[in-house]
Amino acid sequence: MHAWAQRAVIIKGTVTNENGRPLPATTIRAKYSQTAVLSTAGGFSITVNHYPDSLFISHVGYKTISIRLQSDTAFLNIIMHPVDNALKDVVVNTGYQQVPKERATGSFDFIDNKTLNEQSGTNILQRLKGVANGVMFNPNIGNTDGLNIRGLSTINASQSVLIVVDNFIYEGNIANINPNDIESITVLKDAAATSIWGARAGNGVIVITTKKGHFGQALKIDATANTIIAGKPDLYSVPAISSSDYIDVEQFLYQKGFYSNDIFYSNYYHEALTPAVEIFLNRTNGLISAEDSAKQINALKAIDSRQQYDKYFNHAAITQQYSVNLRGGRQDIAYNFGADYDKTRDASAAPSHKINIHFGNTYRPVKNLQLNVSVYFTDSRAKSGQPSYSNPITINGRRVPYLAFADANGKPLPVNTGLLGSYTDTAGNGKLLNWKYYPLEDYKHQYSTTHIQEFIANAGISYKIIKDLSIDVKYQYQKQQTTQANMADTASYYTRNLINTYSQIDPETGVVNYIVPVGGILSTTNGYVESYNFRTQVSYNHNWGENNVTAIAGWETRQVDAHSDGNTLYGYTENPLSYTSIDPVNFYPLYTGGTGNIGSGSVLTHTLNRFVSIYANAAYTWKGKYVISGSLRKDASNIFGVSANDKWKPLWSAGAAWNISKESFYRSKLLPYLKVRLTYGYSGNVDLSRSAVPIELISTPDYYSSYYTSGRILTLNNPSLSWEKINMLNIGLDFSSLKNIVSGSVEYYHKKGTNLYGPSFYDYTTYGLRHS
């Protein structure tokens, strides 16, 4: 027997999962000392009075661990690993804290990595479709990505959902986020879930958590290579009016005078009419016979634009994806590295490719202290493709179903999109450039390119002050640079049309004076967005008896600096590299009638938004059955008015939950898990384009209204400008069957928006157009 065999020793330690989250109610049992305890909030203290001895650590859904104790063992950091195919606890991430879903009062949807990987697409939004309740996709002007959570919350402000990546608001293009880098997504839907994000959360919040290494994890390598070939879009899947019926409608409307205004502009400015209306007009004017008119109309009725698009512009989309991810760790360090490459050609033959590189490290130099850093880089490039049926060629804005792009021999045919064909046939008597638009050829001479680079650096320090209290300090820097170029060479219809429109032919010599120089037109725009985020947060998590309290409180500051510049070059050539200066101000007679100026094509903008916020959130759980929660947040910003920033009107929420299935009277085998939730609270919505201070637009002399520089007030002083307020009541019922084969929720919510942005009356005699 060893000399120290009967000496009582107290062994302390922590128990966490692979993500570093404490695992309360873990059983720690000493084999020979015959003592056992349950961990509380991941911590434990057990007395061992017999050596040698071993500890057995067990938790439902995790592999049991055996640790042989040494004579000098005093503290243990124990990391539990889930049993293969075991049902893991669902932990939702709000961006500020991680909460077990069974203790949450709010409405969340959790999408794990497995579910995301079952979907296809290089864009995370493509993989969200159909997998999250209440999340819909409907692109529109106010919401270009189409993402919508629980319907509209605003009328005139942005309808975009707030995107959070690794605890901070994401200011870039969501297409840059690679789905293969994502560990999980949490959708925050009701006020209790979203109010912690304050004045930006009214449209809902999506919290994205990227993959990370874990302490004590063996090296894990994931590599994927996918090729996805999608069939050509079925242009006939949506019923559409036939060409014959459409022309019959046009004829009826023509006879009723519906096109009188179009015909007026056609006579004076030679604007194009649809082919059928032009035939009707020629017949009315006696330019063609009734027989010729009928023959031409019958020829148009035989054309189906869908067949033309399908033959020349509709293709099978091809996506290639390659990804590698390495992650692992030791007891004091966790690391991850990933690289992804995507290459796509869509249905309009538009090519694009994207490269993502990221790495991260978490280091635990001493007990209770963690340091982490991560870097994310994206480079994506895209080029426009061919015309598509979803964005069709139009005749002066009118979509017609009988356009033909080639004759029976495949020879390209012109489409008169802007000017009458009869006019462009003879305009200039051969001295002007060809004024016809050929869809089969034009896309080869006019195209756009987009190049996006994004860099994100994230650093944080976490220190456990005492057993249940910790402090976190986080900082993130994000920069996105977007370069867009639109090139139209001399052969493109856009360039030829602009050159001809401003051309002047000397009636005596026949010499053409080109106001717009002959050559290509190159328009470039550069956009830069930089954001700085800093957050300090204190977290508290305490268990005693059958009670649990979790709370967080903190403050954060954020700055978003966005600026852009653009320019247009005329007479542009690449070899030799040159361009020609133009007169952007003066007005010139247009060849088609009227006057106009070319414009500089220059753009210069700068927006600086600053935000300061304080927040708090707390929840109390008793017996694992009853939960109450509440949150407060106050936001201030340079875009809000002085009065709004001075007033103490925080956004708040309150909630309660009852886990019925843990009651002694509940013994259902059909639904072993049943929980009721009730929440009510407020979140906000901000239009970052608005200003609380007056804005005046200074304009150069206008040919039509004034020969003087003019000033016009666009925005009046509004010291009360604030966020839109969205309040929501939510009642939810969560359930699951035996072994979680079937699970789900039934929810009722009522959402109401107040203080919405919109027009209001003011004194036009005081605030009107004025000249200086």
**pLDDT tens per residue across span 402-441:** 999 999 899 999 999 999 999 999 999 999 999 999 999 9
State the pLDDT at residue 215. Answer: 84
Tell which residue, 486, 652, 547, 452, has the closest CA to residue 103: 547
Q: How far is CA 687 from CA 160, 194, 211, in A?
A: 10, 17, 32
The mean per-residue pLDDT over the stretch 321-336 comes to 91
Lowest average pLDDT, out of 167-181, 301-315, 447-461, goes to 167-181
Which CATH superfamily does the domain covering 9-79 fall into? Answer: Carboxypeptidase-like, regulatory domain (2.60.40.1120)
What is the residue-averaged pLDDT of the chain? 87
In the chain, where are the structural domains located?
9-79, 91-225, 243-303+389-442
What values do phi and psi take at 334, rounded to 5? -135, 140
SS3 198: helix
Q: How far apart are CA 479 and CA 452, in angstroms?
A: 11
pLDDT band at 143 (very low <50, low <70, confident <90, very high): low
Q: How far apart are CA 730 and CA 483, in angstroms?
A: 43
| DSSP-assigned states of every residue in 521-581 | EEEEEEEEEEEEEEEEEEEEEEEETTEEEEEEEEEEEEEEEEEEEEEEEEEEEETTEEEE-
Q: Which two tokens stand for residue 350?
A: 């538009």
The Cα angle at residue 273 between residues 270 and 275, in degrees rounded to 5: 130
Q: How far apart are CA 385 and CA 405, in angstroms?
A: 16
Quick one: the chain helix, strand, coil %, rounded to 5?
A: 15, 45, 40
Name the β-bridge partners of 404: none
Q: How far is CA 336 from CA 224, 446, 519, in A?
A: 16, 43, 51
Lowest average pLDDT, out of 65-79, 177-191, 399-413, 479-493, goes to 65-79
pLDDT > 70? residue 708: no
Q: Which two tokens stand for residue 340?
A: 């992804």
Lowest average pLDDT, out of 297-301, 381-385, 470-474, 606-610, goes to 606-610
Residue-wise pLDDT for 601-642, tens only, equals 888 889 899 999 999 999 999 988 999 999 999 988 887 765
Terminal C-alpha separation, the chain: 103
SS3 253: helix
Name the fold adopted by 91-225: Ferric Hydroxamate Uptake Protein; Chain A, domain 1 (2.170.130)
Torsion of CA 393, 398, 402, 405, to 10 degrees: -20
Residue-wise pLDDT for 490-528, tens only, equals 999 999 999 999 999 999 999 999 999 999 999 999 999
Q: How far apart are CA 586 and CA 596, in angstroms?
A: 8
Which residue carries 């020629």 as its tokens?
Answer: 282
Q: How far apart are CA 755 and CA 690, in angstroms?
A: 14
Q: How far apart are CA 303 and CA 308, in angstroms?
A: 8
More confidently predicted of 734 and 31? 734
pLDDT > 70? residue 589: yes
Tell which residue, 173, 689, 160, 175, has the closest CA to residue 481: 173
Count CA atoms closer than 13 A to 514's CA, side-chain side. 17
DSSP state of 83: P
Q: How far apart are CA 93 and CA 150, in angstroms?
A: 19
Tell which residue, 111, 93, 113, has the closest CA to residue 181: 113
Count CA atoms closer than 13 A to 379's CA, side-chain side. 4
Lowest average pLDDT, out of 230-239, 566-575, 687-696, goes to 687-696
